[in-house]
Structure 1
Amino acid sequence: MTVRHHTHAIRRSTFTVAGLAAALSLAGCGLEPAGSFVPAAAPGSIQAIEGLPASAAITITSKNYTEALILGKMAVLAAKVAGFQVTDMSNVPGSVAVRELMLNGDVDFVWDYTGTGWLAYLGNEAGIPGERPQYEAVRDADLKNGITWLEPAKLNNTYAFAVKASAVPELNGITKLSEIKDLPLSERSFCVESEFNSRQDGFKPMLEEYDLTLGSADGVNPSNVKILDTGTIYEATARGSCNFGEVFATDGRIVALDLVVLEDDRAFFPAYNVAPVVRSETLKKYPQLQQIFAQISSKLTNSQQQTLNSRVDVDGEEPAFVAFDWMQAEGLITVPVK
């Protein structure tokens, strides 16, 4: 089965020429953008690197949406605790802009997604089935560009379908996409965005992968498909306007609205595991970075990230404080002793 290509990373943080120019300008003059603050932290399981020169420096960037900002602040905190002088280039507008900063050597580190690397950066037309094979493919291919993808997290922010938790018992206790076909025709109702609905690798092929056909008597009735803006799908699903809403797997609204993500048990959607991405020359100079970021990656999961994203998007907290609280709770860092 061919895993389908989608463009969620690019779509969710749109590249602009002005955004890239501004980011490059900041990097060139040594300034940090607004929002570079993180709370003071002390070592926990992440320790200061023994013998690290006082002049050791690293520049960390992130994209400009909630999850990227939280992960970026985790990286900044970790690097500072390890003893680096850190330039925080968080909040860069767009995946393409971040990629250019990495390739040009203006930044050293970013959290990025395996599917984004393979499809958007390296220009492949289709993903590779399986999370591990997808990671290994992008890791191996990007080495020639001077970019090293370290071990990925379990966190996989791909497309998904979610259902209102309170409706699950009424839907035969559904947990997997393959179980939709076992529901009565009237219960096979969907909320999807227009792009996903119309793409050749989108809604209709997904239904077919799960033994359903749009418009057939025993498939999905077109009248049971609502085309909505991305941001309204979560609310519509929670209200019961449809049973199954198209979502991003780690979106904070999944937690806030008490939705449950169904398992993509036939691996239709490409893998978008998040991984620490470092310029190879930086990693050669400071190989300890691999172990530092591995401590964070090993703890990142979809459910954990949904909760953290919700604290920002729903509760209005600052990404830096959310990152600090989680890292402290996990023992990665501690509060400095006054």
Structure 2
Amino acid sequence: MNKKMIKSSLLALMLVLVVGCVSKTSHDVIRIGSKDFTENEIVAEIYALALEDAGYNVKRQMNISSSVIHKSITSKQIDLYPEYTGTGLISILKQKTINDPRKCYEAVKTAYNKKYHMTWLDYAKANDGQGLFVSKKISEQYGIKKISDLQKHASELRFASQGEFDEREDGLPVLEKVYGRFDWKSTKVYDNGLKYEVVEKKQADVAPAYTTEGKLSETNKFVLLEDDKQCWAPYNLAPVVRNETLKKFPKIKTALNKVDQTLDTATMTKLNAQVDVQHKEYADVAKTYYESIKDQ
């Protein structure tokens, strides 16, 4: 074999090796999606960092519309994303509300595996569900820490409604079904974006909110009330993973379950606040948080 033939053979061998490496890398990518709002982007980014730390090659597909992300995973465009137990049960599976967090989780876990060939990994304590908050002053003045306390003092308090909350099945109707009638001193409809301002400025005393909204981290101003009778469905965070992906990359389970063990409602609220109130980038917030928990 002459030098030219040897050189050609070596080049061909190198090309095969390069193509093989590229093919392997592409094949081994884990595609993580997120919904199109702050909290989901933060959590998806934390998941991505955890998987990269575990040695996986990750592709991020963030900011997918909440209305189409389920289709994205069922059509294999993504491999996993953060979902909420209540969303899975009510919006995707079209089942009746289960108010107990563990039973809700078990229901979606079983149904998703059977119907969609997907696995719900461990759920976090973080619950992004429906709630009510009052000002710190009102909480202290009337001793209101839970919704049953609020119901007893409703006639002394002004309610800042967002309109649809009064009519929506999972809003005021179910609240009054469980706790009894709320005879507010007054009720007025405000734009959702103004609710914290009107409560802080004492134009109203109580308003509905989702339980991990960033402004609720300002505990010197606002008190999120405990839903002590479990009126509303739980919306606990958990990774949803295609079974095919989990079988191929089994260490995903350990890496992501470790993350979810650290996420409770108060922690998630503070992370959301860093983006929505302090205007930091979600990726920076996720990285700082992951660095703080990765060696735990």
Of 200, 206, 222 in structure 2, the residue corresponding to residue 238 of structure 1 is: 200
- Report if aligned partners of 1:111, 1:274 keep a CA contact under 8 Å in 2: yes
- Report if aligned partners of 1:158, 1:270 keep a CA contact under 8 Å in 2: yes
Asked if 1:62 is matched to 2:31, the reply is no
1:156-190: CA deviation from partner (whole Å, max 9, x where unpaired): 1000001112332112x211100123327223x21
The number of residues matched between the two structures is 270
Partners of 2:259 and 2:188 lie apart in 1 by: 39
Runs of 5+ in structure 2 lacking a partner? Answer: 1-23
- Report if aligned partners of 1:76, 1:88 keep a CA contact under 8 Å in 2: yes
> Match of 1:123, SS?
coil
Of 64, 68, 74 in structure 2, the residue corresponding to residue 97 of structure 1 is: 68
Asked if 1:302 is matched to 2:265, the reply is yes
1:106 is aligned to 77
Asked if 1:252 is matched to 2:227, the reply is no
Return closer, same or farther for 1:242/1:317 CA change in 2, 3 Å cut-off: same
Partners of 1:320 and 1:167 lie apart in 2 by: 36
Asked if 1:220 is matched to 2:184, the reply is yes
Partners of 1:130 and 1:161 lie apart in 2 by: 19
5 Å matches for 1:163-174? 163-171=134-142, 173-174=143-144
Of 186, 193, 204 in structure 1, the residue corresponding to residue 162 of structure 2 is: 193
5 Å matches for 1:100-179? 100-124=71-95, 126-144=96-114, 145-171=116-142, 173-179=143-149
1:81 is aligned to 53
CA RMSD of aligned residues (A): 1.8
Partners of 1:252 and 1:259 lie apart in 2 by: 11
- Report if aligned partners of 2:133, 2:222 keep a CA contact under 8 Å in 1: yes
Partners of 1:132 and 1:238 lie apart in 2 by: 35
| AA matched with 1:261 | L
- Report if aligned partners of 2:154, 2:184 keep a CA contact under 8 Å in 1: no
1:18-58: CA deviation from partner (whole Å, max 9, x where unpaired): xxxxxxxxxxxxxxxxxxxxxxxxxxxxxxxxxxx866320
Q: What displacement does 1:233 show?
A: 1.5
| AA matched with 1:61 | G
Which structure 1 residue ranges, 4+ long, deviate > 3 Å from structure 2?
Answer: none
Normalised by the length of structure 1, the TM-score is 0.76
Of 216, 222, 233 in structure 2, the residue corresponding to residue 270 of structure 1 is: 233
Q: Which has the higher helix share?
A: 2
Return closer, same or farther for 1:326/1:231 CA change in 2, 3 Å cut-off: same
| AA matched with 1:130 | D
Q: What displacement does 1:129 show?
A: 2.0
- Report if aligned partners of 1:311, 1:322 keep a CA contact under 8 Å in 2: yes
Partners of 1:323 and 1:166 lie apart in 2 by: 33
Return closer, same or farther for 1:61/1:133 CA change in 2, 3 Å cut-off: same
1:195-231: CA deviation from partner (whole Å, max 9, x where unpaired): 1111244214413421224xxxxx334xx11212222
> Match of 2:91, SS?
helix
Return closer, same or farther for 1:317/1:179 CA change in 2, 3 Å cut-off: same
Of 235, 241, 246 in structure 2, the residue corresponding to residue 283 of structure 1 is: 246
Return closer, same or farther for 1:232/1:82 CA change in 2, 3 Å cut-off: same
| AA matched with 2:131 | A
Q: What displacement does 1:83 show?
A: 1.2
Structure of larger gyration radius: 2
- Report if aligned partners of 2:45, 2:286 keep a CA contact under 8 Å in 1: yes
Partners of 1:304 and 1:104 lie apart in 2 by: 33
> Match of 1:89, SS?
strand
2:175 is aligned to 206
> Match of 1:209, SS?
helix
> Match of 1:72, SS?
helix
1:312 is aligned to 275
Normalised by the length of structure 2, the TM-score is 0.86
